[in-house]
Amino acid sequence: MDAANTPIPPAMAEISEAPSTSAAEIQKAEAEFDSETMRKTKPGLKRFALTLTVLLSFLSGLPFLWKSVEIYRSPLPFREIDDLSAAVELNPLQFPCRFEVVFVDFGRTSSTANELSVSIESHMRKLAEKDSPSCGACNYNSTVSVALESASDCFRTDGDFNWKCGALNGLMNKYEASREDGGELFDDYLKSLLNDNGSSSNGGKVYTVIVVRREEEKHVSAVVGKYRHAWIIGNISKEEAVKKVAEVFVNTFVNGGKEEGSIGGEFMPVGSDGRIVLSFNLLNANPNDWTYDWEFQEIDDNILSPIVEALKPLADIRVESQVLYHTPKSSFSYWDDKLESYIYTTKDLPFFVNSNEWHLDTSVAAGGRSKILHFVVYVPSAEECPLLLQLPNGEISKTNGFISPMWGSVAVWNPSACFKDLKMDTRARHKIPREDLTKTFEIFIGQLRQLFGLNSKNHFADASGTLRLLTSERGFSEWELDFLSRQHTCFNLLQCTTTLGSLSRLVQSLPRMIIKDEIGKQVKYSLEAAKLAVSNVSYGMYDASAVFSRHARSFAEDAFYHPSMMSVSYYSFEHCFAVYSPFFLPVSLHVVLAAVREWKRYKLESRKYNTWKAKKM
C-alpha cells in the first residue's frame, strides 16, 4: 500500500511521457501514408536482374543466329565492270591499220606522191562514211603511204615503207610467167619483194596495193593475193586507179569482202566457251543398196589441220567424224526426165535434215557450251539417185549442197553406180574415191567460210569492177584472218561486257545470293583478259587481242552460269525470316515483354519509395 502511495520522481515522469508522444506521431504518419502511391522500403532488383539476364542471353545468341544464316558473297568489282562496259559500248574499238600503195609509171615528181596519198585518203573516208562506225573496223586517221616508181626514178611519201626502190627488175617477167598458174607465183614473189612480215613498227597490219600501168593491156586485172597485198595491172588512168585502190582497201582488206546476203557478224559460229567442234558425218541413206566409208584421217591431216591451225586465235577447234547408216532424208524429191535425175529444190531444204534418224549430236561437247558445226556427206539410196539440188533460177547447184547458219552444212554425193547403172555388192564396204572426197571437203571449206561470214567465191564485185581472190591452201587468206580477228575481238568483248553487266545487276538486286570465291576469281580474270584485249587492240596485235577477248568472254560466261548461283537466285531475306521465325519469335517475344514489364514495375516502385521518403522528410 505504501509503495503504491509513494510519489513518482520527476525524472521518471518524463520518461513515461515520451512513449505516448512517439505513438501519436506514428499514428499520424500512418494516417498520411498511402499504400497506392508510396512504399517504405527500397524496391529490389532481383526480379528485374533475372528477367534482364534472360533477355541478354537471347540477345547474345543473335550474332550466332545471324552467322548461321549469313550468305557468303565474294566482293565483285562493280565499278570496274561499269567502266569496261562504258569503254567498249560507247566507243567502238577501231584497230590501227597501215595502207601502202605503189604506183608504177604514174609520174616522176615527189609532189605527185603526196597528192595521190591525200586523194586516196579522201576516197577511203567517203566509202567508210557510208556505213556507221562499226566495232572492228580500221582507224582511218593514219596516212596512206605512196610510192611512185619508174624505170629511172623513185619517189615516195615520208614515213616507214616496206617497198624497196629499184625492185622493179623482173617484176613484169614474174607476172607474165604467173599467168598460167592464176597468179600464185606472182603472189609469192610480191610477198618476198614487200618484205611482208604482217606488221609495221608503229603497230597494226600493213596492206599494200601495187598498181602497174600498162597501155598494151586491153583489160584491167585486179587480184587480191593470199597475204596482205593486191595488184592492179592494165591500162588505167590515175583517177581510176585512186578510186580502185580505195575500194580495195575499204571493201576488201577492212570489210572482208562481204557481200549482201552474207551471214552477219552476230552469227559467229563460236561457242560461248571459245570452242568449236567440227563434226563430219558420212550418212548412208540405205545400206541395203550400198555402203560407203571414207579415209578421214588423210583428209584431216592434209586439209583440216591447216585450217584448224589458221583459226587457232579465234577458237579452240576440235575435229570429230562418224559414219552412220539407215539415215534417209525427210524431204521428197521428184524425177526429172530432162535431167535424168531426182531433183530437190531450195523449198525442200528446211525439211531435208531428218532429226529423228540423223543422230549427229553424239559428241561429248553436245551438252556443254561449245558450238557444234555439222558437216554432212549424204549418200542417197538407189531409189533417189542421182540426187541434185535445183536453184530458184532453174540451174543445178555446182556444189550440190547447202548451209544452215549456226548448224552446219550438207553436201550430197552421188555414187558412180547412179550414173552407170551398175550392180554393186551390198555386202562390201566401198570407199569414196579420193578425188571426190577432196572436192567434197573443198565444198565444206567454202561453206565454213560462209558460216564465218566470208565470201565463198573466188571473186568479189565492187563498184568499179570485179576483184579476183586467190585461195589459200589453209582455206583463209591472211587478210581474211585479220578481218575475222578484228570482228571476233569486238564480238567477244561486247558479249563479255553484256554478261558481266547482267551479272552485276543481278548480284546487286539479290542481296541473299551466294557469291563464291570462284565466281569472284572468274570475274577478275574476265576483266583482266578484257583489258589486255583492249590494250592489244591499241597496239595492233590482232591475234593476241582475239585470244584474250575469247578468254574474257569464256570467264564471264562461266561466272554467270555458275551452279552455286543458279540454285539460290531467289533466296531472299523474307524467306529466311519465314523459316526461322516459328522457332524463335514466340519465346523471344515473351522474354522481351517480360523485361519491359519488369522495367516498368521497377520504375513505379522506385517512384513510390521516393514519394514516401520525401513525405517523411
Residues 426-473 pLDDT 10s: 677 889 999 999 999 989 998 888 888 887 776 666 555 678 888 888
The lowest-confidence range among 6-15, 185-194, 206-215, 254-263 is 6-15
Average pLDDT estimate for 544-561? 92
* Number of domains comprising the chain: 3
Tens of pLDDT, residues 496-537: 999 999 999 988 887 777 788 899 999 999 999 999 999 998
Q: Are both 254 and 280 inside the same structural domain?
A: no
| Sign of the alpha-carbon torsion through 9, 15, 21, 27 | negative
Can you give the pLDDT at residue 15? 43
Distinct helix (H) and strand (E) counts, the chain: 17, 19
DSSP character string of 161-204: --PPTTTTTTHHHHHHHTTTTTTHHHHHHHHHHHT--SB-TTSS
Can you give the pLDDT at residue 413? 92
User: What are the Cα distances from residue 481, in Å, to 99, 309, 489?
Assistant: 17, 11, 12
DSSP state of 545: H
Query: Cell numbers of 106, please?
Result: 604514174
In a domain, 241, yes or no: yes
Average pLDDT estimate for 294-321? 91
Q: Which of 437, 452, 467 is the last residue of a domain?
A: 452
Q: Are both 357 and 429 inside the same structural domain?
A: yes
Using the CB atoms, write b or e for 118-155: b if 16+ within 10 Å. Answer: ebbbebbeebbeeeeebbbbbebebbbbbbbbeeeebb
Can you give the pLDDT at residue 375? 92
In a domain, 252, yes or no: yes
Range of the domain at 110: 97-261
Which one is predicted more confidently, 356 or 444?
Answer: 444
* 119 sits in which H/E element: helix 110-129
Which one is predicted more confidently, 603 or 30?
Answer: 603
With a pLDDT cut of 90, the percent of the chain lying above it is: 20
Rounded to the nearest angstrom, the gap between the alpha carbon of residue 127 and the centroid of all alpha carbons in its chain is: 29
Can you give the pLDDT at residue 421? 61
With a pLDDT cut of 70, the percent of the chain lying above it is: 82
Neighbour tally for 574: CB within 10 Å: 9
Q: Are both 182 and 290 inside the same structural domain?
A: no
> Given the C-alpha cell 552467322, which residue does it identify?
67
Can you give the pLDDT at residue 11? 44
Q: Are both 385 and 299 inside the same structural domain?
A: yes
Q: Which of 407, 434, 452 is the last residue of a domain?
A: 452
pTM of the predicted structure, to 2 decimals: 0.79
In a domain, 337, yes or no: yes
pLDDT beyond 70 at 488: yes
Contact yes or no for 81/500 (Cβ under 8 A): yes
Q: What angle do CA 468, 482, 161 make, to 5 degrees?
A: 85
In a domain, 251, yes or no: yes
Query: Cell numbers of 305, please?
Result: 589441220
Under the banding of pLDDT at 50, 70 and 90, the label for residue 110 is low
Q: Are both 297 and 219 inside the same structural domain?
A: no
Tens of pLDDT, residues 362-389: 666 555 677 888 999 999 988 888 899 9
Tens of pLDDT, residues 41-75: 888 788 888 888 888 887 887 787 777 667 778 88
Q: How many CA atoms lie within 13 A of 372 on its CB side?
A: 17
Q: Are both 177 and 208 inside the same structural domain?
A: yes
Q: Which of 396, 422, 452 is the last residue of a domain?
A: 452
Can you give the pLDDT at residue 515? 85
In a domain, 36, yes or no: no
Q: Are both 255 and 281 inside the same structural domain?
A: no
Contact yes or no for 424/430 (Cβ under 8 A): yes
Between CA 33 and CA 19 the distance in angstroms is 21
| Residue 266, SS3 per DSSP | helix
Q: Are both 432 and 322 inside the same structural domain?
A: yes
Of the candidates 487, 539, 542, the residue with the CA atom closest to the CA atom of residue 137: 487
Which one is predicted more confidently, 406 or 413?
Answer: 413
Tens of pLDDT, residues 301-313: 999 999 999 999 9
In a domain, 311, yes or no: yes
Contact yes or no for 549/489 (Cβ under 8 A): yes
State the amino acid at position 615 in one-letter form.
K
Q: Are both 217 and 128 inside the same structural domain?
A: yes
Cα dihedral value 249, 255, 256, 260, nearest 10: -120
Q: Are both 353 and 442 inside the same structural domain?
A: yes
Tens of pLDDT, residues 553-598: 999 999 998 887 765 545 566 777 777 778 777 878 888 888 888 8
Q: Are both 357 and 422 inside the same structural domain?
A: yes
Tens of pLDDT, residues 122-146: 888 888 877 666 777 888 777 788 8
Residue 145 Ramachandran class (φ > 0 left, ψ -120 to 50 alpha, else beta): beta
In a domain, 299, yes or no: yes
Q: Are both 281 and 256 inside the same structural domain?
A: no
In a domain, 473, yes or no: no
Can you give the pLDDT at residue 14? 44
Contact yes or no for 517/104 (Cβ under 8 A): no
